[in-house]
Structure 1
Amino acid sequence: MLDTAFPTALVIGVDKYKEYRSLKGATADAMSMVDWLANSQGLPDTNITCLLSQDTSPPYVPIAQQVHDWLDMLDDEANSKGDQNFPLGPRVYVIFAGHGYNAATAQQTAIFPKTSKTYWDVIPIMPVKTYLEMSAYFKEVVIICDACRDVIDFAPEPGWTRRMDSHPNSPQVKVFQAYGSKAGQKSKEKDFGNGLLRGVMSYAFLRGVTGAARDANGIVTGVKLKNFIKSAVIEELGEEFKPEIIEDDFVMCNAGEVATLLHISPKSETTGLATLKFHEDNQTVQIDLGKGEQVFEVPIGKYTLTTPLGIDSNFAAIWETKNVNI
Structure 2
Amino acid sequence: MNTEDYAIVIGINRYPRLGPPSPGEPLNLDGPVVDATAMRDWLIDSAKGGVPEENVAFVTSAAFPDPFETVNVGGIQRTKAEPTVDHLRGCVEWILERHAQSGKIQLGRRLYVYFSGHGFCVRDCDGGVFLANATPDLVEHFYSSSWFEGLYNKAIFSEYVLWVDACSSPIPMNLQPSESTLAGQVNNLDDGRRFVAFSAKFPRKSVERRMPDDQIRGVFSYALLEGLNGAALDEQTGRLTGENLRDYLKNALKEFLPPQDQSNPDIGDEPAFGTIDDIEFGQFAAKTFQREISFDPRHHGMRARIKDGQSVVVLETDAGADLWVVDLMPGLHKVEVEPDTELFLEINGESSDEIRIA
* The two structures share one fold, judged by TM-score above 0.5: yes
Identity %: 27
Determine whether 1:242 maps to 2:270: yes
Task: Measure the CA separation in 2 of the matches of 1:43 and 1:104.
Answer: 31
Please show how residues 1-326 of structure 1 align to structure 2 within 5 Å: 5-20=3-18, 21-39=27-45, 40-54=48-62, 55-58=66-69, 59-82=80-103, 84-86=104-106, 88-103=107-122, 107-168=126-187, 171-193=190-212, 195-215=214-234, 216-237=236-257, 238=262, 240=265, 241-246=269-274, 247-255=276-284
Q: Give the residue type in structure 2 aligned to 1:252.
A: F
Structure 2 CA distance, aligned partners of 1:171 and 1:186? 36
> 1:189-223: CA deviations, max 9, x gaps?
12123522111111111111111111123211000
**Cα contact 1:233–1:242 (8 A) shared by 2:** yes
Q: Secondary structure at the match of 1:139?
A: strand
The residue identity in structure 2 corresponding to 1:232 is A
Q: Secondary structure at the match of 2:102?
A: coil
Specify the code of the residue in structure 2 equivalent to 1:254: Q
The 3 A distance-change label for structure 1 pair 69 and 4 is: farther
Q: Partner letter of residue 241 of structure 2?
A: T
Contact 2:146 2:180 in 1 (8 A): no
Mapped contact 1:189–1:199 kept (Cα < 8 A): yes
Max Rg structure:
2
Instruction: Give CA deviations for 1:148-207 in whole Å, capped at 9, x if unaligned.
Output: 011243341121251332213554301111101111110111212352211111111111
Q: Report the AA paired with residue 79 of structure 1.
A: A
| Corresponding position of 1:267 | none
- Runs of 4 or more off by more than 4 Å in structure 1? none
| Alignment check: 8 A CA contact 1:212 1:257 kept | no
Q: Does structure 1 retain, via aligned residues, the 8 Å contact 2:125–2:196? A: no
Post-superposition shift, 1:109?
1.6
1:281-322 CA distance string (max 9 Å, x none): xxxxxxxxxxxxxxxxxxxxxxxxxxxxxxxxxxxxxxxxxx
For residues 200 and 104 of structure 1, do their structure 2 counterparts lie closer, same or farther at Cα, with a shift above 3 Å needed?
closer
Query: Alignment partner of 2:136: what SS?
Result: coil
- Taking structure 2 as the reference length, what is the TM-score of the superposition? 0.65
Q: Which amino acid aligns with 1:242?
A: E
CA spacing shift, 1:116–1:4, aligned 2, 3 Å: same
Distance 1:7 1:161, change over 3 A: closer
Q: In 2, Cα distance between the equivalents of 1:67 and 1:51?
A: 8
> 2:6 corresponds to which letter in structure 1?
T
Assess if the C-alpha contact under 8 Å between 1:211 and 1:218 holds in 2.
Answer: no
Measured after TM superposition, the shift of residue 122 of structure 1 is 0.7
Q: Which residue of 1 is the match for residue 343 of structure 2?
A: none
Query: In the aligned structure 2, how far is the partner of 1:22 from the partner of 1:195?
Result: 19
For 1:100-124, what per-residue CA distance to the aligned partner results, in whole angstroms no more than 9, with x for missing partners? Answer: 0124799312111111123222111
Please name the residue that 1:322 is paired with: none
Task: Report the CA distance between 1:128 and its aligned residue.
Answer: 1.7
C-alpha RMSD of the superposition: 2.5
Alpha carbons of structure 1 residues 194 and 176: separation in structure 2 relative to 1, 3 Å: closer
Residues 92 and 141, structure 1, Cα contact 8 Å, conserved in 2: yes
- For structure 1, the residue ranges without an aligned partner over 5 or more in a row are 259-326
Kept after mapping to 1: 8 A contact 2:124/2:202: no
Cα deviations by residue, 1:209-252 (Å, 9 ceiling, x for unpaired): 11111112321100000111111112233375221022112212
